[in-house]
Amino acid sequence: MGLANRIGAVALAVACAVLLLGVACRAGQTSEYRRLLGQAIDMPLDADVFRAPPGHNAPQQVHITQGDHEGTAMIIPWVTTVEPGSSTVLYGTSEDNLNYSAKGKHSQYTFYKYTSGYIHHCTIKKLKFDTKYYYAVGTEETLRKFWFRTPPKSGPDVPYTFGLIGDLGQSFDSNVTLAHYESNSEAQAVLFVGDLTYADNYPYHDNTRWDTWARFVERNLAYQPWIWTAGNHEIDFAPELGETKPFKPYSSRYHTPYKSSGSTAPYWYSIKRASAYIIVLASYSAYGKYTPQYKWLESEFPKVNRSETPWLIVLMHAPWYNSYNYHYMEGESMRVMYEPWFVKYKVDLVFAGHVHAYERTHRISNVAYNIINGLCSPIPDQSAPVYITIGDGGNQEGLATNMSEPQPSYSAFREASFGHAILDIKNRTHAYYAWHRNQDGAAVAADALWFTNRYWMPTDDSFNDA
């Protein structure tokens, strides 16, 4: 080979190497979209979405969540304000023949100078899979009727569509987020990653804001289960007001099926739904070694049967990987404790909130770091989950806009906009994911890609942009 040819061959090899390096180390994207920034303003208390239903002592704030581990039960809470009334739920598979009934209980709580209405909780059990049920709460004069559909029986190729919302609040932007989500009508349940009402942001932790928020979201929550994650705005720890019991308003109003998964507290638990196994963790409950949450999660991961529920999804509030200069590294101590398990058991996706913006990572892990070896940079890891921060529901605290620069290599896409996401599980190998910013039409996805399952098809899905 002549000198010119050898030089040409070397140049070609170098060019190919550079190209491959560029592909392997694909740079993350910071969206160029710029939302017109302004203060996220709360809706006025006389807004239509906060209006109580008509009638004396009419049930209000109706909402549902899964009531057991398998998906054959539903927890149905609601509030009456004048007197207890009935705690019974009538239900059936025909709107005109509610021939079953279940009796619940009611309770009240006080917070500073606030006394709640009568909070009813009723769990209806032994439901059939993939069946539409109608239900009614209240008395004859003010009977209110709703419906829901139970999930299909778990199986490896059972399709199911989840919505994803976090840090919602009750601002005008919150209303847009919920309306935008509702326009994506294919979703069947919501994975909610914490921070519901932001009542603790108001003077004296104004608990009437728990009531207004629940009336606001009833239009969706009475028909579609939301799977709850506790955020920092659910803590409501206020010793200056004489309130020293954390999570009092939240736990009084929003029950979870924690006992059915062997948990000892309602803030961490698991459920199965179609082909997904959902693990909910508590960022603001003790999670260190030998704590109840640690011991529960240690025993929980081995129970997951990926032949039945191939998609393993974790919900939490404080993100582990976050390149915004808000709540930076708040999830680090939990990451150190639990990330090796996430990699060992091949978690597919982790959803978090807390940071009021959107971000998606590549599949990376940082399990090698032991404080003295210097191996503190996240590395590509195809056994690791994708971490998605979706704390962009629209609350009055506004957007997180200050990003760390340069964008870290683990960050695939980020944008400071309000929105929601849809996770459409197709079968055991593929799920389509799309994040929708509020400013776009329902059919427009600002960030979308196909995920492949870590157990059944652990291919590199970093380049599966839709």
Q: Which residues are catalytic?
A: 327
Query: Whole-angstrom Cα distance, residue 394 to residue 40?
Result: 7
User: Which of 238, 220, 309, 214 has the alpha carbon at shortest distance from 270?
Assistant: 309
Look up residue 129 and give its two tokens.
């899979």
Determine the residue type at 152.
P
Torsional sign, CA 283, 285, 286, 291: negative
Query: Whole-angstrom Cα distance, residue 305 to residue 331?
Result: 28
Residue 398: which region, alpha, beta or left (left: phi > 0; alpha: psi -120 to 50)?
Answer: left
From the CB of residue 184, how many other CB atoms can be counted at a distance below 10 Å?
17
Query: Whole-angstrom Cα distance, residue 15 to residue 21?
Result: 10
Helix residue ranges per DSSP H, 232-320: 248-253, 292-300
Query: Whole-angstrom Cα distance, residue 163 to residue 413?
Result: 19
Residue 226, burial from CB neighbour count under 10 angstroms (0-12, 13-18, 19+)? buried
Determine the residue type at 361.
T
Determine the residue type at 193.
V
The string of DSSP letters for 108-173 reads --EETTEE--EEEEEEE-SPPTT-EEEEEES-GGG-EEEEEEPPPPP-TT--EEEEEE-S--SBHH
Query: Whole-angstrom Cα distance, residue 287 to residue 293?
Result: 5
Query: Rounded to 5 degrees, what are φ and ψ at 266?
Result: -75, 0
Look up residue 85 and give its two tokens.
């009334």
Contact between 119 and 250 (Cβ < 8 Å)? no
Determine the residue type at 69.
H
Query: Rounded to 5 degrees, what are φ and ψ at 23?
Result: -70, -45
Query: Whole-angstrom Cα distance, residue 108 to residue 114?
Result: 11
DSSP classification of residue 436: E
For residue 406, is the peptide bond before it cis, meaning its omega torsion is within 30 degrees of 0? yes
User: Which of 265, 291, 264, 197 has the alpha carbon at shortest distance from 236?
Assistant: 197
CB burial string 367-384: b at 16+ within 10 A, e below: beeeeeeeeeebeebbbb
